[in-house]
Amino acid sequence: MKPKVAIACQGGGSQTAFTAGVFKALAENNVRDHFDIVSISGTSGGAICGFLLWYAMKRDEKPLCQRVLDFWDDNIAKTPRERLFNDAVIHSLYLAGKGLIPQYHLSPSSPLVRGSLKAATFGIRSEFSDLKALLEAHVDAHELAALGRQPEPPILIIGACNVLTGRLHKFSSYLEPIKIDHLLASACVPSIFPAVQIDGMAYWDGLFSDNPPIATLIDPRFVGSRNIPNEIWVIKINPTAADEIPVAPDDILDRHNELTGNISLFHSLRQIERINDFIIEGAFKDEFLAKFDIKEPIKIPRSFPDDPEAPYHIPRIEMSVELAKSLTYESKLDRSPEHIARLIRDGEEQGAWFLASRLKQADARPQGRSE
């Protein structure tokens, strides 16, 4: 019987093109021949990538990764005008981060901002300037609505933050039909987009909640009791460690963003590690675990991997050290073809390495031991 796997996709703007590369590697190496993907979760850009994989799986598309790759190909700066707009935004952010030009904090809902953006994006493809238009170009909204609630695996979990209640929110395909608005809510950076309103509530970027949703993946209320995974694979965008103390304003902002993006991830992993400790110590009755098809601790990336031989250790799928060190806060918005291609290429390499390592580990397991 194939191990049941949940894939959790961290957010990070343009840097989540790395996730598309990981998906390409998993698909090309026939991941579903070896593992049963029972759920996918994501936040912001990670939610969009996870959604496109989920949608392709529901439609039984081949190759499985093509839809997410097409999305990123359409998301890059293709024309000279788009390239000029992209470079101007990135350069302005760089100069502001260095303290060389003043920063102005304006509401994205203000007429001034809306008018300026409309003028700056005149003559640019709507798929490049409007996230909703980009998503609708790659997903049939009517077909998506026709899917309705999807209680069968894979289950999709999208993380967002409810601005009005202050609560973390998870949109789950197990509980409700998935909408494009759910993705827009999860990717709603409040300094760039107005809050996304759904059913009388307002939502901001899921980075304020779970990045990505982890604990929900083992909660039967959100995924169903038969879809609790044996393993959780985290596609991690934000690096954990830093080589030196940031001093420059832009370096401080970059490190602040990395730490903020990892806080909820480490907290969730610690929660599951504690549950795993209870399983190992026999704190749960066998009949209780059997209800969720849990035979052994859930394999997760340890939040502090100081014990690689731990019974539930699986390494994260992370960027190469070289790539991670070269990225800046501004690169989260950079959609230049070279930048996106580099991220996807590294994702392919790291995804292929991860899967090969995981299969090698499975082959080395003692015969007869349950997955």
Residue 321 vs residues 15, 51, 129, 241, 318: alpha-carbon distances, Å: 14, 27, 31, 11, 9
Our answer to whether residue 251 is catalytic in this structure is: no
Q: Which residues contact 15 (CB under 8 A, 6 or more apart)?
A: 45, 237, 327, 331, 332, 343
Our answer to whether residue 205 is catalytic in this structure is: yes
End-to-end CA distance of the chain: 8
Query: Do residues 330 and 89 lie in contact, with contact meaning Cβ atoms separated by under 8 Å?
Result: no
Round to whole Å and give the CA distance between 52 and 259. Answer: 27
Identify the DSSP state of 138. H
**Choosing from 14, 39, 41, 44, which is the catalytic residue?**
44
- Select from 226, 342, 242, 343 the least CA-distant residue to 290: 226
Phi-psi region of 44 (alpha: psi -120 to 50; beta: other; left: phi over 0): left
Round to whole Å and give the CA distance between 267 and 328. Answer: 24
**Choosing from 14, 205, 209, 254, which is the catalytic residue?**
205
**HSE toward the beta carbon, residue 132, CA cutoff 13 A:** 10
Round to whole Å and give the CA distance between 81 and 30. Answer: 39
Could you list the active site residues? 44, 205
